[in-house]
Structure 1
Amino acid sequence: LESECLQIAEHFNMRLLGPNCIGLLDTHLPLDATFLPPPGPLPGEVAFISHSGAICAAVIDWARGQGFGLSRLVSLGNQVDVNETDVLAPVAADRFTRVLTLYLEAVSDGRRFVSVASQLTR
């Protein structure tokens, strides 16, 4: 099923997030393309990228309980197409994001990740 979804996305020149992820959100648009129940995170200046949807949910719950806001959240899941390096620069370029945090279980392409990450410091 994953490969079939990827083929369809490629046919229509689309990128595919996941599968097996909770989605993404941007608190400043606002856009919530997750399946998490409300309430979502408060708007803030910290972005969070994670391989784990469970960690995303825990971070949202913790942040909201502390009155701490997030700018963006991206859950990567199985990364059949979009991976951690693909989302680094766009998330870091967001004008509302001052801090970028990640929970990664592995890195798909270490050299590319380091190359992109090293260009993000402001």
Structure 2
Amino acid sequence: MCRISILVAASAVLFSSAQAEERQPFHIARFSDSRTISLTIRSSIRPYDRQYDYDVEIELIEMSPGGQKLYVDHGVHAARVRCEAPAAVKVGRLVNFIPATLGRRSWMQDLWKALCLSPIS
């Protein structure tokens, strides 16, 4: 009985670790041919620039209509995010301010929401 309990506990830890490694997309673009492009946060750290709250690397994955990965972009796509007013996402040298009322969704607004409005556990 003890071995079964240990096996179940070990399986639960391994399963939860595998789930934690799978990143959830913060933005999904859908195209007329049913392909999708998903953007996920590959990494997030506290930036050296104190004007921003996060330095992130973004991963891009293109999926077929059947859910198969067609393309995984292994390039580094960096952005900085500021949560407090004036809320902004900085990509390269371009600062994109996030409006107080989120209208038409963009990937930058979705990135900002994912980092700044999501509860932290």
| Same fold, judged at TM 0.5 (above) | no
TM-score range, shorter chain: under 0.3
Please, what TM-score do these two structures have when normalized by structure 2? 0.22
Q: Which has the higher contact order (CA 8 A, sep 6+)?
A: 1
Q: Which has the higher strand share?
A: 2
Flag the structure with larger Rg: 2
Please, what TM-score do these two structures have when normalized by structure 1? 0.22
Q: Which has the higher helix share?
A: 1
